[in-house]
Structure 1
Amino acid sequence: MKEKYRKVLTKIEEADAILIGASNGLSISEGIHIFADDSSFQENFGNFREKYGFRSIIQGCFFPFPSEEEKWAFFSRMFEYFLINREASQVMKNLYELVKDKNYFVVTSNIDAHFPLAGFPKERLFEIEGNCRNLQCSHGCHNRIYPGDDVLSKMAQNQENGRVPSVLIPKCPECEGPMQVHIEVDRNFLRDESWQASLEAYQDFIGKAQGKKLVLLELGVGARNQMIKAPFINVTNHEEYATYITFNKGSELYVPDIIAAKSIGIDGNIAEVLQQLVQMK
């Protein structure tokens, strides 16, 4: 295994560009599992679990809450769980340590906003499905995203009987209708100017890496997550000097035959793999 780690480090050190793709497996390595009915979910969301019957954070994101007061109780709790009084995890610090001196870009479907927490700058980050700290009009009446930290914090700290006070509930500045967290849970998800700019930065990064030594570093991306995996496989297949490196666990580790010769797959706990690589660096 150490030989594989050394190969990964050499590829990273020699790369002209590193494209990082991250999904749920990376969050799980930090101790956050949005699909699991685990002890952490039960401890932090137990009252929602008991009242509404959903069994994970992701089910809560899609749940049709009967009122705005109850909806915002859940989403502000999720914001609190992901971000309030939380420092960057060792997992994210190690990832940053690995690539901070390189030319890199991050594309992620994670909604926990943990990349900026670890020092990854916004201009090098594309959060495809949004994140838990921004707000938008639920009707999409206008194409603008709003920072929600203040109002989400207040709602998280002022909950009673699974509800937040009506006076704290955000209203759309334009139509005065309901708002929602800017994550992709329905067709109203806004791809505003900042989202489009991030998409263009992502595409531009790939374009500028053509013909160069490109490492595509994939972290916890399952085979079904085609919005990250498919472009990574396609670029690796078409770029002569590209190397596809993927970290995942067990059956989630997937390297297609078409790029197997240009790939390194490491089966294991992502937290432990990153720790090992940083120690060897």
Structure 2
Amino acid sequence: MEDKYYKAITKIQEADSIVIGASNGLSISEGIHIFAENTAFLEKFGDFRAKYGFRSIIQGCFYPFPSQEEKWAFFSRMYDYFLYDEEASPVMKNLFELVKEKNYFVVTSNIDDHFSQAGFPKERLFEIEGNCRNLQCTYGCHNQIYPGDKILSEMAKNQENGKVSTDLIPKCPECGGPMQVHVEVDQNFLRGEAWLTNYQAYQDFIEKAHGKKLVLLELGVGVRNQLIKAPFMKLTSHEENATYITLNKGELYIPEVIASKSIGIDGDTAEVLQQLVQA
């Protein structure tokens, strides 16, 4: 194991470019598990569990709530759960510490906005499925997304019987129609100007890294998350000077074709990042 840590930190230090890919396993290492019916879920969302029957945050995201008042009660509470602590977690602080002096870019399917919270600048961040603190027009009548912190925080604090007050519910400033959190939970998800700009920044970063020493640092990405894993493996295979470093607890997958260019560390991501920073 010590040998793997040494190899990983050496590759990171020597890299010209680093692409970080992150999914649910990273959030789990912070203590947030959107797929679990755990103590935290029951404490925060137990009344929704009793009323609607869903057993995790992710199921709540896709639940067809019967009213806007109930929908916003759930999504504002989810926002509050993800971002209640204004300070970044030790996990995210360590990750930022590990790469802050390097040329890096982040691609993530996480919706908690913890990268921005930890100091990762927006121009180096592509959130594939949006994040929980922005709002969009449900009808997609125009391309803009809006900061939702103020109204989401207010709705999270003012709930009664699993509902928010009707007068708190946001309306689209252009068409007056309903709004929703800018998270990919249905076909209305807006791939507007901001989303496309960040997607293009991701593509440009990869293009500029061509031929150079490239590290693809994958954090908590399950085998089924092909949004991140498939492009990372393809890049590792095609780029002569690429190294694929994957951190995940209990679920490592490295195809034979890129095994010689890969480092897999099976362990708690929080502990592994701590070890890498100390190294």
Q: What TM-score results when the alignment is normalised by the length of structure 2? A: 0.99
The aligned residue for residue 21 of structure 1 is 21
Matches within 5 A, 1:27-176: 27-176=27-176
The aligned residue for residue 197 of structure 2 is 197
d(CA) in 2 for partners of 1:29, 1:199: 26
The aligned residue for residue 260 of structure 2 is 261
Structure 2 residue identity aligned to 1:73? A
Q: After superposition, what is the alpha-carbon deviation per residue over 1:203-262, rounded to whole angstroms, capped at 9, x for unaligned?
A: 000000000000000000011111101110111100000000000111x21111121110
Return the offset for 1:84: 2.3
What's the secondary structure of 1:136's corresponding residue?
A: strand
Q: After superposition, what is the alpha-carbon deviation per residue over 1:115-143, rounded to whole angstroms, capped at 9, x for unaligned?
A: 01111000100000000000011111222
d(CA) in 1 for partners of 2:209, 2:119: 23
Identity in percent: 76
Tell me which moved more, 27-36 or 137-146: 137-146
Structure 1 residue identity aligned to 2:15? A
Q: Runs of 5+ in structure 1 lacking a partner?
A: none
Return the offset for 1:112: 0.2
Q: After superposition, what is the alpha-carbon deviation per residue over 1:87-113, rounded to whole angstroms, capped at 9, x for unaligned?
A: 100000000010000000000000000
The aligned residue for residue 274 of structure 1 is 273
What's the secondary structure of 2:159's corresponding residue?
A: coil
Return the offset for 1:85: 3.2
What's the secondary structure of 1:243's corresponding residue?
A: strand
Aligned in 2, Cα 1:86/1:44: closer, same or farther, shift over 3 Å?
A: farther
Return the offset for 1:144: 1.4
Structure 2 residue identity aligned to 1:159? Q
Please report the RMSD computed on the Cα atoms of aligned residues, expressed in angstroms. Answer: 0.7
What's the secondary structure of 1:216's corresponding residue?
A: strand
d(CA) in 2 for partners of 1:80, 1:125: 22
What's the secondary structure of 1:77's corresponding residue?
A: helix
The aligned residue for residue 5 of structure 2 is 5
d(CA) in 2 for partners of 1:14, 1:202: 21
What's the secondary structure of 1:107's corresponding residue?
A: strand
d(CA) in 2 for partners of 1:256, 1:63: 36
Return the offset for 1:198: 0.3
Task: Kindly tell me the number of residue pairs found equivalent between the two proteins.
Answer: 279
Structure 2 residue identity aligned to 1:63? Y
d(CA) in 1 for partners of 2:226, 2:184: 15
The aligned residue for residue 247 of structure 1 is 247
d(CA) in 2 for partners of 1:60, 1:90: 27
Q: What TM-score results when the alignment is normalised by the length of structure 1? A: 0.98
d(CA) in 2 for partners of 1:20, 1:13: 14
Return the offset for 1:62: 0.3
Matches within 5 A, 1:182-261: 182-250=182-250, 252-261=251-260
d(CA) in 1 for partners of 2:156, 2:19: 35
Misfit runs of 4+, over 4 Å = none
d(CA) in 1 for partners of 2:193, 2:138: 17
What's the secondary structure of 2:229's corresponding residue?
A: helix
d(CA) in 2 for partners of 1:86, 1:255: 36
Return the offset for 1:173: 1.1
